[in-house]
Amino acid sequence: MREVAVIGIGMTKWGELWEKSLRDIYVETALKAIDDSGVDHIDSMYIGSMSPGIFVGQEHIASLLADYLGYPHIPSTRVETACASGGLAMRLGLMEVASGMNDIVLVSGVEKMTDVGGDEATYALGTAADQEYECYHGVTFPGLYALIAVAHMHKYGTTRKQLAEVAVKNHKNGSKNPIAQFQFEVTVDDVLNSVKIADPLRILDCSPITDGSAAAIICPVEMARKMNKPVIKVIGSGHATDAIAISQRKDMTWLESTYRAAQSAYKMADKKPSDIDVFEAHDCFTIAELCVMEALGIVDKGKSGEAVEGGRTAVDGDIPVNPSGGLKSKGHPVGATGIAQIVEIVKQLRGEAEERQVEGARIGLTQNMGGSGASSVVHIFERE
Amino acid sequence: MREVAVIGIGMTKWGELWEKSLRDIYVETALKAIDDSGVDHIDSMYIGSMSPGIFVGQEHIASLLADYLGYPHIPSTRVETACASGGLAMRLGLMEVASGMNDIVLVSGVEKMTDVGGDEATYALGTAADQEYECYHGVTFPGLYALIAVAHMHKYGTTRKQLAEVAVKNHKNGSKNPIAQFQFEVTVDDVLNSVKIADPLRILDCSPITDGSAAAIICPVEMARKMNKPVIKVIGSGHATDAIAISQRKDMTWLESTYRAAQSAYKMADKKPSDIDVFEAHDCFTIAELCVMEALGIVDKGKSGEAVEGGRTAVDGDIPVNPSGGLKSKGHPVGATGIAQIVEIVKQLRGEAEERQVEGARIGLTQNMGGSGASSVVHIFERE
C-alpha cells in the first residue's frame, strides 16, 4: 500500500444557510480545498452524504457535484453510512490512492438539512435507526441517546452535571472557531435549565440541524513531500459496524463499532491512545462524547464523566477532545461531519488552529459515527 | 496493485417480491454468493443501493445488512450513483482488495421498489435526474429517454422497429433465464402495439419496477488459484461521469460517461472492443442499449440499430449483448443491476449459462449506468 497525505482542506461557515443550495455549499467548500492544496486538477472524488434524497429530493449527487465543480467526467462516488458518511468518504479515498488507481483525490461531505421542516428532518435522521424495530415504534435519536445516557448514569454513576460539562467545553471551543454554527459559550446552568427533549437530555445536550460541507485533498506521501507545506500523513484507518438497533447490543453504554474501528486504526498506525495529542469525536449528544472516549481507550470504562468535569478534555488538558467545538457547537450537517473533523485535525497538526490550538500537537485522531453507533470510522494523522 | 478475481456469485429470482423485505432479499442472495465461493468468512462488504431512504424509509443499510447477514462488526459500505450503484460497489471492492487493505470482500446490490406505489416509485427514480432542471419541470426518465430516442432516430435514421428488436432479443434471452422477472418472449408487433409511455417509447421499451438483489465475492487472484474452480479475473475497471441534465450535453445521443469508463477499462485490461466475447449492457430503455453499444465502441456511431436488427447481438451473433435478458426482461432493481450483470458474465465465462450460453466465451464486459447516463461503470473479466 502506498502512503497517503492530506495536502488541502476546505470549509466555510456552517449554519442555517437559507440563501445557498446544496450545490452552492458543496462547490464553495471543495474549491477552497483545491485552492489550499495547490493542485491543478483532481483525478477522482468521494462525497459523504446521508440522505440528499429525502432532504432535497436529489440522489445521484456524485455526478451532479462533479459537474458543478467543473470536473464533469471524473470518477465521482457518493458513500453513505448515516452520520459517518464523511469519515467513510475519507477511507475510500485513502484506499483509492493506496491502491495506485489514482493520485489526487477529493474527499468531501455535504448535507443540506434546512430545506425541509423539523418533522421531516427528524424523519430523515430517523432512517439511520432501525425503521422496523425502533422508529416505527416512535423512538428517534434523542430518545435512543437518552436511553444510553440513563444506562450510563445507572451503571457508572455518571452525573447530569457531567453531561452538561461536555456542552460547556464544546461551546467554549466553538466560540473560538469562526466557522462554527454557534459561536457562543454556555454555562452548566444554561444546559440544565434548557428545554427538555428526551429525559435526561435537554436541547443543549443535542447537536443542531445544520447546512454545511467540508472537503480535503489527499495524494501519495511522496507527492506531498514535494510541496512546500507540512506533510500530514494518514497513518491509520479503521471502519467497523454494530447492530443498528440498540436493543440488540449486549451493553448499550459500550460502542463496539468505535472500539473495533479504533483498534484497527491504532494497529495500522502502530500507536496507542496515549500517543494521540488531539481528538475530534462524534458528540451528536453529550452522552455520545463520553461513550466515545471510553471506546477509544482514552479513559477507562465509566471514567469519562469525571475526566470531562476535571478539565482533562479541554484544549489545554492532557486529552483534548473536540477543540473545533464538536458537533454540538460547530454544527452537524450529517454527511459532512466526518470530513470537518479531519479539517480541524489538519489545522491542529499544521499549527493553524489559532486560539484553540493544542500546543505542540503532532498526532491527531478523528472518530465519526453513524446512528446510535452502528457504524464508526476512525482515522489517525501524523505530522511528518 | 494486486490482481483480483471473482470467486462466488449469488442471485435469486427477481420480481415483485411482496412476501419478502429488503433485508430478506439481501441476506438470501449474499449467503448464496458466500456458499458459491466456499470461503469461511468475509473481511468487508459493499452494497450498491440507490434510494432505500425513499423506497423503504431506511438509510444506514450497510450496518443493518452486515448485522442481518451475521457479520455484525465488519466494515460495510453503501455506495450510490443512481442505477450504477451496483457497478460502483464492485469497483470499490476491487480497490480495497487491490490496495491490500482486505482480502475477501462481498460486493453486492439491492433495491426493494414495490413497497411504495407507482407515483412514489417514479418520484424516487426521478431523484437520479437533475431535480432543479429536469424533474421540477415535469420530465421523468421515460421522457428523457424518449428525447434521446427521437434525437437518435433523427440523426441516424434509427427506426421504431429497430428499437423494438432490442426488446424482442432481450425477452428471448430472458425466457431462458430462470431468475428473470419476465420469462416470456415478445414480438415486434407486441412492442409496437403496447401502451405508449412517452412517444416514441412504449411500455415494452421500458425496464420494469423490480425487487431484487445480487452478490459476488472477490479476492486476490493468488488466493483464487488455490480453489478448485475457474479463475475469473477482473482485468479492467472504469468509472466516469457526465452532466446530469441532458440539456447540458453537446450530443444527447452520445454517452460520454460510458465512452470514458470503457476507455479506462480497455486500457487497464489492454483489450479492445473486438476482444470481448460477451457484453452485459444497461438497457433501462431499448434506446439505451443502442446508445451504449456505440459508446462502448462495439459498432460505429449510428450503426447500433441495424446491428440489432441483423441479429448480431443475439446469443449466437458476433457481438452478443445481454444474454441474461438485460434489464428489460431480467428486471431492474436499480441498485442491484450492476452486480447482476457481473453474475451473468461470471456464469458465461464459467460456461454455466445453460441455454443462453455464448459458446467459448472467455472475456466479458459489464456496463452499468446511472440516470440518463450521468454515471457509468465498466468492468472487464477474463477467464484464466
Domain count, chain B: 2
Of the candidates B73, B131, B132, which has its C-beta nearest A256's C-beta? Answer: B73
Residues of A that are catalytic: 83, 332
Q: What is the C-alpha to C-alpha distance for residues B225 and B5, in angstroms, rounded to an integer?
A: 9
Span B234-279, pLDDT tens digits = 999 999 999 999 999 999 999 999 999 999 999 999 999 999 999 9
A61 and A149 part of one domain = no
A302 and A169 part of one domain = yes
Of the candidates B81, B257, B260, which has its C-beta nearest A78's C-beta? Answer: B81
Q: What is the C-alpha to C-alpha distance for residues B291 and B355, in angstroms, rounded to an integer?
A: 27
The pLDDT of residue B65 is 98
ipTM summary value: 0.97
Predicted TM-score (pTM) of the model is 0.97
A191 and A337 part of one domain = yes
Structural domain includes residue A131: no
* Nearest C-alpha in B relative to A258: B73
Distance from the B205 Cα atom to the nearest Cα atom in chain A, whole angstroms: 24
Cα distance from N-terminal residue to C-terminal residue, chain B: 18
Query: Could you tell me which of B202, B214, B118, B119 has the C-alpha nearest to residue B161?
Result: B202
The pLDDT of residue B146 is 98
Of A197, A224, A251, the domain-final residue? A224
Q: How many CB pairs under 8 A join A and B?
A: 194
A37 and A158 part of one domain = no
Taking residue A223's Cβ as centre, other Cβ atoms within 10 Å add up to 18
* Nearest C-alpha in B relative to A373: B63
Distance from the A89 Cα atom to the nearest Cα atom in chain B, whole angstroms: 10
Structural domain includes residue B126: no
A84 and A203 part of one domain = no
Its sign, for the CA torsion B180, B182, B188, B194, is negative
Domain of residue A314, CATH code? 3.40.47.10
CB contact under 8 A, B53 and A51: yes
* Nearest C-alpha in A relative to B74: A240
A146 and A217 part of one domain = no
* Nearest C-alpha in B relative to A46: B79
Which residue range is the domain that position A299 belongs to?
A: 138-207+235-383
Would you give per-residue pLDDT tens digits along chain A (384 residues)? 899 999 999 999 999 999 999 999 999 999 999 999 999 999 999 999 999 999 999 999 999 999 999 999 999 999 999 999 999 999 999 999 999 999 999 999 999 999 999 899 999 999 999 999 999 999 999 999 999 999 999 999 999 999 999 999 999 999 999 999 999 999 999 999 999 999 999 999 999 999 999 999 999 999 999 998 999 999 999 999 999 999 999 999 999 999 999 999 999 999 999 999 999 999 999 999 999 999 999 999 999 999 999 999 999 999 999 999 999 999 999 999 999 999 999 999 999 999 999 999 999 999 999 999 999 999 999 999
Identity at B149, one-letter amino acid code: A
CB contact under 8 A, A370 and B63: yes
The pLDDT of residue A140 is 92
B287 and B374 part of one domain = yes
Q: Which residues of B fall within a CB distance of 8 Å from A51?
A: 53, 59
Structural domain includes residue B127: no
Could you identify the residue written with the cell 462554527? A180
Of B193, B224, B255, the domain-final residue? B224
Could you identify the residue written with the cell 437518552? A146
Pairing of strands B105-111, B196-198: unpaired
A13 and A43 part of one domain = yes
Of B160, B190, B224, the domain-final residue? B224
Q: Mutation target for A interface from B21, B71, B80, B125: give the one with most A CBs within 10 A.
A: B80
Q: What is the C-alpha to C-alpha distance for residues B143 and B196, in angstroms, rounded to an integer?
A: 11
Q: Which residues of B fall within a CB distance of 8 Å from A262?
A: none
Q: Which residues of B fall within a CB distance of 8 Å from A99?
A: 1, 95-96, 98-100
CB contact under 8 A, B67 and A243: yes
Q: Mutation target for B interface from A60, A110, A122, A130: give the one with most B CBs within 10 A.
A: A60
Q: What is the C-alpha to C-alpha distance for residues A324 and A293, in angstroms, rounded to an integer?
A: 16
Q: Which residues contact A63 (CB under 8 A, 6 or more apart)?
A: A76, B81, B82, B241, B242, B243, B244, B257, B370, B371, B374, B375
Structural domain includes residue B258: yes
Radius of gyration of chain A, Cα coordinates, nearest whole angstrom = 19
| pLDDT average per 10 residues of sequence, chain B (384 residues) | 96 97 98 98 98 97 98 97 98 95 97 94 95 92 97 98 98 98 98 98 98 98 95 98 95 98 98 98 98 98 98 98 98 98 98 98 98 98 97
A166 and A32 part of one domain = no
Structural domain includes residue A127: no
A105 and A184 part of one domain = no
Q: What is the C-alpha to C-alpha distance for residues A24 and A30, in angstroms, rounded to an integer?
A: 10
* Nearest C-alpha in A relative to B73: A241
Distance from the B154 Cα atom to the nearest Cα atom in chain A, whole angstroms: 27
Structural domain includes residue A132: no
Residues of B that are catalytic: 83, 332
B179 and B77 part of one domain = no
Q: What is the C-alpha to C-alpha distance for residues A181 and B280, in angstroms, rounded to an integer?
A: 49
Q: What is the C-alpha to C-alpha distance for residues A167 and A330, in angstroms, rounded to an integer?
A: 11
Q: Mutation target for B interface from A24, A80, A110: give the one with most B CBs within 10 A.
A: A80
Burial B338-359 (b: 16+ CB within 10 A, else e): bbbbbbbbbbbbbeebeebbbe
Structural domain includes residue B20: yes
B165 and B36 part of one domain = no
Structural domain includes residue B199: yes
